[in-house]
Amino acid sequence: MIVLLLLHLGAALVAPALARWWGRQVFLPLALVPAAGFAWSMTRLPTVLDGGEVRETVPWVPTLDLAVVLRLDALGLTFAALVTGVGALVLLYCARYVEAGDPGTGRFAAQMTAFAGSMLGLVLADDVYLLYVFWELTTVFSFLLIGGSGARVAGRRAAGQALVLTTAGGLAMLAGLVVLARTSGSTLLSEIVSDPGEGRLVVVGTLLVLVGALTKSAMVPFHFWLPAAMQAPTPVSAYLHAAAMVKAGVYLVARLAPGLADVPGWRPTVLGLGLLTMLVGGYRALRQNDLKLLLAFGTVSQLGFLMVLVGGGGAELGKAGLAMVLAHGLFKSTLFLSVGVVDHAAGTRDLRRLSGLGRRLPVLAGAAVLAAASMAGLPPLLGFVGKEAAFTALLEGGVPDRAAALAVLAGLVLGSVLTVAYTVRFVWGAFARTPEPPDLPEQAPAELEHRPGPLFLAAPTVLALVGLAAGPLSPLLDPLLARYAEELPLYAPETEKLALWHGLQPALALSAVTLLGGAALFAVRGRVSRAQRRLKSPLSANAGYWNLLQALDRLAVLVTGTTQRGSLPAYLGTILATVLAIPGVVLVTRVEWPGQWRAWDSPIQAVVAVAVLAAAATAVRLRQRLAAALVVGITGYGLAVLFVLQGAPDLALTQFLIESITLVAFVLVLRKLPLSIVERHNRIEKVGRTVVAVGAGLFMGLASAAALSARTAAPVSEEYPALAYEVGEGENVVNVTLVDIRAWDTFGEISVLVVAATGVASLVFLRRRTGALARARGAAGGDAVRARRAPRGRWLSAGGTLQPQRRSVVLEVVTRLLFHTVVVFSVFLLFSGHNSPGGGFAGGLVAGLALVLRYFAGGRYELAEAAPVDPGVLLGLGLLLAGGTGAVGLALGGQVLETAVFEATVPVLGDVKLVTALFFDIGVYLVVVGLVLDVLRSLGAELDRQEEENDPIEAAPDEVILR
Amino acid sequence: MGDITAPDLSLAALAPLLFVFGAACVGVLVEAFGPRGNRQPVQLAVALVGTLGGLVSVLLLAGRGEVTAGGALAVDGAALFLQAVIAGLGALSILLFAERALDPARSAFVTSAAVPVGSPRDREQAMSPRVQTEVYPLATFAIGGMMLFAASNDLLIMFVALEVLSLPLYLISGMARRRRLLSQEAAVKYFLLGAFASGFFLYGLALVYGATGSIRLSDVRAYAAVGGADVLLVLGLALLVVGLMFKASVAPFHTWTPDVYQGAPTPVTAFMAACTKVAAFAAVLRLLYVAFGTSEWTWRPLVYGIAIVSMVVGAVLGLTQTDLKRMLAYSSIAHAGFLLVGVIALGAGSDGGGSGLSSTMFYLLAYGLTTLGAFAVLTLVRDGDGEATHLSQWAGLAQRSPLTAAIMGIFLLALAGIPLTSGFTGKFAVFRAAIEDGAWPLVLVAVLASAVAAFFYVRVIVLMYFSAPAEEGPTVGVPGLPTTIALAVTVTATLVLGVAPGPVLDLAQRAAIFVG
């Protein structure tokens, strides 16, 4: 079997090349491929009739239990014969249908052949996943075949619609199959059917699989894709949308019915929707004027019929169903192919414009009438046999519930009446001489455009004749169909063989009723169509589909528009809101809160807290960037005050200094930005943001409180004071911790500082690490003119380079007086840090602030005068010193960064204790100074220079992220 | 004060990391001291030697399972598999970086990223024939960080790896040669939000340490198994997950993804979409599996929920996108959700019983290759303004360049999960694993989301094949050797993993072992 499938694949692959040489004749050899499949399946007939089966297993992905398991049993053989037989004839038909020299021939031929292969695979597959693969392949090829060359909008829409619906159904089916495979413990269809397992899951899985089957077979409410798919070329409609693909759903239901028909929900779904589909399809078919559309709705109706039969889950019904499947495959493809010939010959398919074709195309008309008779259920055709069997089965039971059986029967009879009516209308419209004057401007041409050749007529004729012959010969079919029916429970009192004549029975009367009713309906067709026009339903599944798609689209646009606008606060808000929603809820619901709460240790803390809170609230309200930055700074200073109150002067000092330096950096950057913050948010957004922000703040606060109260182990820091004094030989615990106990950390941190400083600088100075030192001396010449009206006394060495309106004498004087003092103080802090507040970090910051003062008072040249060194040198030196200290510790026999102490008495200074950690601290000091200098030079001096030298920046204004 | 003892380092086990980080350091040195003229080939060679060397050394290590570096690194099957994936995808990305034939300016990267957009110097450098090469060591560092991420057996190393992989990514997202403002906006957003996410991770780390007294994953596991999970631990876990899910662009932490994917240079987007995803999920798997495997109830509902959100958000929002890069970004969000379906299926206990781990690993490989390829195709279709990523510009592409359209079609089908492509195998594997674990409602959602997502992938195929080509539409560039290699590898892999995935699945299954 796998060879057959590979044969199809190979044929599909070479088809485009062959088509280039042979043109449309390529279909003739291609038709041999499904024909071979047909022949092969016939050779296996004896095996199957003996109750055997043919099975092939090729492992594909063993890890996932995916294997190519093919199995041919009675059901499979029936469908395989139908699919390959009709496939071969349709390909034969294509050899004349396709215009000679059509450039799309190769593609079309390849797709048709590939489709035939996938369809064959679908009915042979025994593994559920393989089934799914073939299922989706048929979907994809159907999509390609409906879309055709893609030249027409309607074709594209129809192709897309069919694809979306059947793929969605296919995925639901996959989910269902996976569930069923889980419950039954096997991925083989045969084993699922024999033991589906039990429980709620089986129901879920079954219903999901049914969704797939129903969409594929165009059941209400998914039926609308099939008529739309009639955009496809006629052979495609005949094969995919009559004989083969739409039968896949029927096949699946037939395949699963033996095992799953008794699952709750199966019968209501299958029988109910099947009947509804039969009626809706028949009713709509009565209304169509396009022959092909008429057939399409007729197909919908017939599929409903088949679904009822194979889904009923009884032996008799199942047998009747299979007979009808064969009959339908034969007559519907004949009819479609005939319409193709009519279309080709007359140039139209509108039954109001066609007239008298029957006389001009007698062979075709004969075939079509035979097929139509089969569809209407006229003896002696196969359609009659099948319908008769169905009626009999239902009359005698057929489904477990007797009342349901009769209700279904009533529905089927009504549906059959409609079938007869539209069938007559079809034959009359296509072939009869229509006496009524058509009120259309354009009549069908009197002469045929093309006269169909024998090859063109071969396929419909053969199919029609088979349908004719199969009626009387139906007892020969019986053994095969009975093999399948054996798997199903028998609800009727006894089995009955398929035959043309069972004697005078109630079913025969029902057939007569349908025929008469249909004929009557046709007779009053004028009134019927007027009534139909009046009753035109406002509900349309097709419109519903497009509305649904549109709604989905609109929803997506709406959601995108509200959540994905590119706004950073909105993005952050999403993340924070999620944090509140998940960890936040965990926190609130599960945490053990501290046993007691103490508001404050001293009331001053409360005052500070109020000030901090007020500052935070003000920062949100302020419109001016600089002011906002300053107010944010207040929160930092407040924290420093809290440190003081807790008795940590060193931390407080550092915090104060850091806050100041940060402010300076802020100011330097913010002067480049627009002065005020533009507020563009409406009330709701503001409220939302406030909620998220306050919530996030509360979350962090509460989490900290919870974390503090959840402490069980003793804090590491308890040992620090003793360690600092005994090992580090210092009284300032913070400082000793920095330079000794946790010196490794500090070393890492200053490395990061160096990197950060370098990064800032390199973003501003593009070519070198830092700009050349622009000293005041070089600039003095040019600036002398400007400086003429400046104050005469030179308090600062480069003060004269500033423009007069920017100079401030007070600031210059203060700077002059303070600078050296501050620098000395910073050195003092550095040295005293070991035992009292201070240290390299604080000292460095103080020195940095001194430089800031010089820069603000005297401008960029002044900065160069104050610190005529490359910040890189400072940074490097600092790092070297700190690292060197570590090495020295190692050299002295200790560990890396271990402190060594030297004590000596020096004449002037008295007792001096030298701790090697001091050198480490000096390194820190240098790095910090270097950092501040770097920030000042890049964000301050260099930006000043760019402004003075007028480097314009033109941003392209239309560049926005598309959303 | 306790003596610091040097941890035992198994150099062999660390060889892949050493290779990659070594190459990155050499790259920095080349950048600093190498002559400018032939830096590009040298850097390319160094980066490729590093990543491919890493790949080869991982392959040589196959089958190993040990904890080294003082317990900080776990070199086990899962780590090695994912490291190999990262190194391989990384090498392919570096090939994309090296493409010089497509852009008239010979590179997708700006010569000097710090030059303000629109300044005279910017115009000057737009003309200059210089090619920027810093991107190679940066990307190599990121790859190294990702590989470290996959092997980290302790939360602190995980954090360090997270930063090592993130910082270069922030930087290189801002380096696009064209549409520089977009690119810089993307970089800033990525950085700011990423910094927040890292902050959450760090806070979570602190809480976990506070609760368990250890940052070693195995200790956390032992604590959670014995002492139950107290609130600090759960809170810490939740925050860690927030940090990691951000990197994996799982909704609702995905908001940065579309903007960054669109703004970043396309080769970088390819790199991020493929490698970052793998690395982030490697860490997620390890964290949830090794540290919290015994206390599944703590994370299962959480992951369950965000998996659903991610699939739905990715699939539904993807529908409205008109830009291919953004569409693929949403696709990446949806796929993150599918991956989480596999994560859910880790199964109780860490004995490797559940097939969730192996199927997730396979999915990562399949998805990484496919998405990398898809982005690589995006670099080919260009108009005068750079890459033409608007959907309407792709109309009728099949007529302009049948090969390009066919390749893109294969990638899109794989992303949609159509059988015979790697996407189907991957999806199938994770869904099956999840069902075995009883998570079939999640699989139902996943299947529905796949259907919706399939719609927008197929839409592109329909557009390429069935629409009339746009007037004055884009041209399809002829790629140079690097992109050609990358495309050939990814297309082949996408098909092979779809048709005959058996050996790779077996490999993943054998590799699905965590030590720790």
ipTM of the complex, rounded to two decimals: 0.84
Q: Residue B384: how many CA atoms within 13 Å on its side-chain side?
A: 2
A925-953: average pLDDT = 82
Contacts of B118 in chain A (CB under 8 A): 953-956
Taking contacts as CB-CB distances below 8 angstroms, the residues of chain A near B387 are none
Say whether A706 and B465 touch across the interface (CB within 8 A): no
Query: Does any domain span residue B172?
Result: no
Q: Does A607 touch chain B (CB under 8 A)?
A: no
pLDDT band at residue A553 under the 50/70/90 scheme: confident
**Whether pLDDT at B349 is above 70:** no
| Residue A159 contacts B where some CB pair is shorter than 8 Å | yes
Give the per-residue pLDDT at B163: 94
**CB half-sphere exposure, A191, CA atoms < 13 A:** 12
- Judging contacts by C-beta atoms under 8 Å, the chain A residues touching residue B1 are 723, 727, 741
**What does the pLDDT read at residue A787?**
44
- State how many domains chain B has: 1
- Inter-chain CB proximity A167 and B454 less than 8 Å: yes
Q: Is residue B472 part of a domain?
A: yes
Give the per-residue pLDDT at A774.
59
What is the Cα–Cα distance from A621 to A637, expressed in whole angstroms?
A: 20
- Contact flag A64-B451 (C-beta cutoff 8 Å): no
Nearest CA in chain B to A176: B444
A844 by DSSP, 3-state: which? helix
CA distance B268 to B246: 18
Distance between CA atoms of A230 and B467, rounded to whole angstroms? 20
Q: Which tokens belong to B358?
A: 């192996």
Residue B309: pLDDT band (50, 70, 90) is very high
For residues A458 and A589, what is the distance between their CA atoms, to the nearest angstrom? 78
Mean pLDDT along residues B423-448:
86
Per-residue pLDDT, averaged over A54-73, amounts to: 85
A892: tokens are: 């002295």
User: Residue A579 corresponds to which tokens in the numbers above?
Assistant: 């944090």
Q: Which residues lie closer than 8 Å to A3 by C-beta, 6 or more apart?
A: none
Per-residue pLDDT band for B235 (boundaries 50, 70, 90) equals confident
The H-assigned helical ranges of A646-742 are 649-670, 683-709, 720-726, 733-736
Range of the domain at B414: 295-511
Chain B, nearest residue to A955 by Cα: B118
Residues in Cβ contact with A422 at an 8 Å cutoff, skipping those fewer than 6 apart: A282, A285, A286, A294, A297, A298
How many CB atoms neighbour CB A626 within 10 A? 16
Cβ-in-10-Å burial (0-12, 13-18, 19+) of B377 comes to buried
pLDDT class for A288, splitting at 50, 70, 90?
confident
pLDDT of residue B1: 43
Residue B383, helix vs strand vs coil: strand
Tokens at A551, concatenated: 């709604």
Task: Give residue A786's pLDDT.
Answer: 44
The answer as to whether B96 is a domain residue is: no
Give the pLDDT confidence of A190-215 residue by residue, as tens digits: 999 988 888 888 998 999 999 999 99
| Paired sense of beta strands A66-72 and A54-61, if any | antiparallel
Of B9, B13, B39, the closest CA to residue B27 belongs to: B39
Task: Give exposure, A80-108, as e/b (b: 16+ Cβ within 10 Å).
Answer: bbbbbbbbbbbbbbbbbbbeeeeeebbbb
CA distance A516 to A342: 28
Average pLDDT over residues A747-770: 80
pLDDT greater than 60 at residue A770: no
Distance CA B151, CA A577 (A): 31
Q: Is the pLDDT of residue A610 over 70?
A: yes
Nearest to B134 by CA among B55, B29, B222, B206: B29
Q: Is B177 exposed, middle or buried (0-12, 13-18, 19+ CB in 10 A)?
A: buried
Q: Is the Cα torsion angle A91, A92, A96, A101 positive or negative in sign?
A: positive
Q: For A582, which of B193, B238, B317 is closest by C-beta distance?
A: B238
Q: What is the pTM of this model?
A: 0.82
How is residue B216 annotated by DSSP?
B
Alpha-carbon gap, residue A929 to A848, rounded angstroms: 5
Q: Which span out of A525-534, B55-64, B84-93 was modeled with the highest average pLDDT?
A: B84-93
Better-predicted residue by pLDDT, A288 or B163: B163
A chain contacts of residue B207, beta-carbon cutoff 8 Å: 703, 707
Overall average pLDDT of the B262-275 stretch: 94
A160 touches chain B (CB under 8 A): yes
**Helix, strand, or coil here: A447?**
coil
Of A254 and A834, the one with more pLDDT: A254
Gyration radius of chain A's alpha carbons = 45
Residue A692 φ then ψ, to 5°? -65, -45
The mean pLDDT value for A817-824 works out to 91
What's residue A149's pLDDT? 65
Distance separating alpha carbons of residues A471 and A385, to the nearest angstrom: 6
pLDDT of B167: 93
A460-514: pLDDT as tens digits: 899 999 988 888 888 888 888 888 988 888 887 777 788 877 777 888 888 889 9
The pLDDT value given to residue A791: 47
Which of A163, A592, A727 shows the shortest C-beta gap to B458? Answer: A163
Range A907-938 burial, b when 16+ CB lie within 10 A, else e: eeeeeeeebbbbbbbbbbbbbbbbbbbbbbbb
Does residue B231 belong to any structural domain of this protein? no
* Residue A215 to residue A200: CA distance in whole angstroms: 23
Q: Nearest CA of chain A to the CA of B12: how many Å?
A: 28
Rounded distance, CA A407 to CA A267, Å? Answer: 13
Region A538-559: what's the mean pLDDT?
A: 80
**In sequence order, which ranges of A217-314 are alpha helices (DSSP H)?**
225-228, 234-238, 247-260, 266-287, 291-311
Chains A & B: contacts with CB separation below 8 Å:
216
Spatial separation of the C-alpha atoms in residues A568 and A562, rounded to whole Å: 13
Residue of A nearest to B201 (CA): A579
Instruction: Pick from A898-902, B185-189, B230-234 the range whose average pLDDT is largest.
Output: B185-189
| Contact status of A567 with chain B (Cβ, < 8 Å) | no
Q: Touching check for A711 and chain B: CB below 8 Å?
A: yes
Among B255, B418, B454, whose Cβ lies nearest the Cβ of A564?
A: B255
What are the boundaries of each domain within chain A?
2-435+442-525, 526-564, 733-951
Range B219-228 contact pairs with CB under 8 angstroms and sequence separation of 24 or more: B220/B155, B220/B291, B220/B292, B221/B290, B221/B291, B221/B292, B221/B293, B221/B294, B221/B516, B224/B291, B224/B292, B224/B294, B224/B295, B224/B298, B225/B294, B225/B295, B228/B295
CA distance A444 to chain B (A): 32
Round to whole Å and give the CA distance between A830 and A896: 22
Assess whether pLDDT exceeds 90 at residue A40: yes
Rounded CA-CA distance A359/A365 in Å is: 8
Lowest model confidence (mean pLDDT) among A954-958, B71-75, B310-314: A954-958
Q: What is the CA radius of gyration of chain B?
A: 22
Q: To the nearest whole percent, how much of chain A has pLDDT over 90?
A: 26
As beta bridge partners, residue A278 has: none
- Distance between CA atoms of residues A609 and A603, nearest Å: 10
Going by pLDDT thresholds of 50, 70 and 90, the confidence category of residue A957 is very low
With a cut of 90, say whether residue B311 has pLDDT above it. Answer: yes
CA distance A52 to A72: 9
Q: What was the pLDDT predicted at A962?
A: 43
pLDDT for B489: 96
Q: What are phi and psi of A901, to 5 degrees?
A: -120, 130
Pick from A140-154, A530-544, A625-639, B3-17 the range whose average pLDDT is largest. A625-639
**Structure tokens of B412?**
């899109």
Q: What rounded mean pLDDT belongs to chain A?
A: 84
Instruction: For residue B256, tell me if it sits in a domain.
Output: no
The b-or-e profile of B261-270 (16+ CB within 10 A means b, else e) is: bbbbbbbbbb
Highest mean pLDDT among A50-59, A75-84, A162-171: A75-84
